[in-house]
Amino acid sequence: MKYAVAVRALCEFTAKQGDLDLRFTPAPTAQEGIAGHALVAARRPAHYKTEISLSGEFGNLLVRGRADGWEPVQQQLEEIKTFRGDLARMPANHRHLHWAQIRIYGHLLCQKLSLPELRLALVYFDIQSQRETVISELHNAAALRQGFEEQCRLFLDWADQELMHRKNRDHGLEGLRFPYPEFRAGQRPLAVAVYKAARGGDCLAAQAPTGIGKTIGTLFPALKAAPAAKLDKVFFLTAKTSGRSVALQALRQIRSMAPQMPLRVIELVARDKACEHPDKACHGESCPLAAGFYDRLPQARKAALGGGFLDKQALRQVAAEHQVCLYYLGQELVRWCDVAVGDYNYYFDSGAMLHGLMVANQWRSGVLVDEAHNLLDRARAMYSAELERTAFMSLRRSAPTVLRRTIDSVNRCWNELVRNQDVAYQAYDCLPQKLIGALQRAVAAIIDFQTDNPGHADSSLQRFYFDALHFLRIADLFGSHSVFDITIRAPAAGRTARQSVLCLRNLIPAGFLAPRFDAACFTTLFSATLTPTHFYSDTLGMPADSIWMDVESPFKPEQLHVQVAHSISTRYQHRSASLQPMVDLMARQYAAKPGNYLVFLSSFDYLQQLATLFKSCHPEVPVWEQARHMPEAGRDAFLERFSETGSGLGFAVLGGAFAEGIDLPGQRLIGAFIATLGLPQLNPSNEQVRQRMAASFGGGYEYAYLYPGIRKVVQAAGRVIRSTDDQGVVFLMDERYNRPQVRRLLPKWWRVTSA
């Protein structure tokens, strides 16, 4: 059995040295890189060849990759690197890595074509000036072969270790047993479907009720199928931190069934939560954890993988012991782990790390998408970008003198855009090209400044730089799936200038997500709310041959009494009139059966109005409320009020932190009152969504308002019944729940009556 390794991965393991240094990393976008490669190739003769597939063996190693370009007449092999900024400022260890890569490609080509020698050229292409800088060397085949073998020897012991790890891992997974005596009702058919999807390379979308154990019901069969499906990795992707915690606990249980099985698990943590020195820049002259990072990495890597279970606490401990950056240590360790647990953005974002590594290393990976109903909104955010006026003005006041000219240019373009807009919100179908040009110049100037002043620390400058860079990258992706819009707000207290937000807003992320589904060996999306199927299929870009399943609920209709308050209207114009009838309904139910209830409203304003009236009418009933921008400690305190022996009403926002992803079994929660249909607010921005949905799929109202709204309602109601022993009640407080088109979207096992 051979260990396959990509040329780049081999070189990054054996040839990376010195500091972690991101000063030159503001790399071009993926689109700019592709365009740059194409432009360089277009300048070459007709006989020039691109994307040359190469491979070679050494011991147990199979080394493979694609060289950028080959000029057969001059016998010159080229490695093209796009960049922006001053090439002279590229760190030496970056150039060292580039030479290591092209020399391996050179050996593989000499071997393939039986060449005695060839010229190797690093072609650095400046995407702004579109000029090439070519650095070339003549090499003979014997020297290249010797260098190739030296690099392979440095990696060979590690490769042998990894081959043994894979053999033992697969052996353990083949004999893996479910970590409980039996499956829960509904859990077995889900697990069987996931196993078949993994073996068959399918995309599966599974709607399964809350409380049946979907996390372990998907992880277990995916891992069980890994040996037969020849999977290298499984990615478990979540929308929230709580989902990561549940997945990690499930993986601990799975590993406990086979303690000798070397299953490596890693939790991916966001950079802002992992950084030990947020006031320092990511290079050796500023951050002590970046200095000598690659020199200390081998020992840190060895220590980390020896434990096998790398949640954020374990990672932090290893990083501290070896004095390396926790965030970038995690990125390095992903390459050698079997399961990665992290946020959606690690796979679905435009520059997603997991997807990039998977493609570069040709990994066979399975993808599990937890609470997949969240993916639409999250993906829209991933492919959108904003520039906020208040933050920009803060930068203008603190910007170094050398940058003020370019920043003032951005300011003039910004002012020109908003000067003639006399409405609070306006959407445009085209990009603000003058602003884009000014931002490009500003980003380039900031790169030069930061390179010249590595010790300079300015949070407003750093924030603007990253915001502008992201804005430019999203601008490259702009199309019929997006709008450019400007929102103008009234001046802040004590100020005269209007505040504005410039946004490149993605409305339909399907075109960006579809290639990610195609790239995975299999994908399983699962949630309690994936109805209707065509809505998620259309907006997420799922494959046409996706398999859809609706797992039968293990809960009986008698467990949950769902009642519609048909005399209450919560339409915006009826909000004031709805308050007293809702208070009376809640009070009657509480008097009839005291206990813990959740009350869900569509906004904080509505929540405060209803809670205030309820407390004034029924001061004897305990009441607690969700607050805006609630810190983690506040959220924990809110949930702690739902005790087995307690009683009272907790008021929360529909679609917020307490409407999904929380578990309050038994007497901790016996009922819920849900006001409104959860419809998104009627505003110009959401109307843009409706219009675009209508044009793309038909049914604009349903796609923009009804389906997302009812999804939030079903998720909130799902907090009540968490096990086959639970009993509870849900009141749907709006007469529109009697409409057939709404009833069809509610879970089939619900038996809905009138209150």
- How far is residue 54's CA from residue 6's CA, in Å, rounded to a whole number? 10
Q: Which two tokens stand for residue 729?
A: 């009640």
Report which of 71, 72, 89 is spatially closest to residue 80, judged by C-alpha positions.
71
Measured in degrees and rounded to the nearest 5, phi and psi for residue 135 equal: -120, 115
Query: Over the range 554-577, which residues count as b (16 or more CB within 10 Å of their CB) and which as e?
Result: bbeeebbbbbbbeebbbeeeebee
Q: State the span(s) of the chain assigned CATH 1.10.275.
A: 386-505
Say whether pLDDT at 285 is over 90.
no
Three-state SS at 724? coil
- pLDDT band for position 492 (cuts 50, 70, 90): low
Q: Which DSSP helix (H) or strand (E) runs through 179?
A: none
- How far is residue 147's CA from residue 154's CA, in Å, rounded to a whole number? 11
Domain 557-754, CATH number (from 3.40.1710.10, 3.20.20.220, 3.40.50.720, 3.40.50.300): 3.40.50.300
Q: Kindly give the pairing relationship between strand 49-58 and strand 61-71.
A: antiparallel
Report which of 124, 34, 137, 132 is spatially closest to residue 76, judged by C-alpha positions.
137
CA distances from 115 to 73, 119, 225, 311, 429 (A): 13, 11, 44, 49, 54
Q: What is the pLDDT of residue 416?
A: 92
Say whether pLDDT at 673 is over 70.
yes
Q: Which two tokens stand for residue 611?
A: 């809670």
Q: Which letter does DSSP use for residue 190 in this model?
A: H
- How far is residue 567's CA from residue 310's CA, in Å, rounded to a whole number? 54
C-alpha angle with apex 215: 210 to 218, nearest 5 degrees? 115
Query: Domain 386-505 falls in which CATH fold?
Result: Fumarase C; Chain B, domain 1 (1.10.275)
Q: Which letter does DSSP use for residue 27 in this model?
A: P
- How far is residue 204's CA from residue 197's CA, in Å, rounded to a whole number? 6
Q: State the span(s) of the chain assigned CATH 3.90.320.10.
A: 3-156
CA distances from 177 to 226, 365, 375 (A): 14, 22, 31
- How far is residue 621's CA from residue 596's CA, in Å, rounded to a whole number? 11
Three-state SS at 266? strand
Share of the chain above pLDDT 90, in %: 77
Contact of 378 with 350, CB cutoff 8 Å: no
Q: State the span(s) of the chain assigned CATH 3.40.50.300.
A: 187-260+338-383+509-552, 557-754
Q: What is the pLDDT of residue 506?
A: 97
Encode pLDDT of 165-219 as tens digits. 999 999 999 999 999 999 988 899 999 999 999 999 999 999 998 878 999 999 9
pLDDT average, residue stretch 584-609: 97
Q: What is the average pLDDT score of the chain?
A: 92
Say whether pLDDT at 86 is over 90.
no
Contact of 524 with 222, CB cutoff 8 Å: yes
Q: Which two tokens stand for residue 318?
A: 């290893």
The residue whose two tokens read 């697969």 is 170
* Whole-structure pTM value: 0.91
Say whether pLDDT at 429 is over 80.
yes
Q: What is the DSSP string of 32-76?
A: HHHHHHHHHHHTS-TT-EEEEEEEEEETTEEEEEEEEEEETTTTE
* Residues in contact with 282: Cβ distance below 8 Å, sequence separation at least 6, in sequence order: 20, 21, 22, 290, 325
pLDDT average, residue stretch 413-436: 92
**Weakest mean pLDDT among 70-74, 487-491, 707-711, 728-732:** 487-491
Contact of 378 with 344, CB cutoff 8 Å: yes
The dihedral of CA 659, 663, 664, 665: what is its sign?
A: positive
Q: What is the pLDDT of residue 494?
A: 58
Domain 3-156, CATH number (from 3.40.50.1950, 2.60.40.3500, 3.90.320.10, 3.30.465.10): 3.90.320.10
Report which of 120, 50, 47, 122 is spatially closest to residue 80, judged by C-alpha positions.
122
Report which of 400, 410, 411 is spatially closest to residue 458, judged by C-alpha positions.
400
Contact of 608 with 626, CB cutoff 8 Å: no
Query: Domain 187-260+338-383+509-552 falls in which CATH fold?
Result: Rossmann fold (3.40.50)
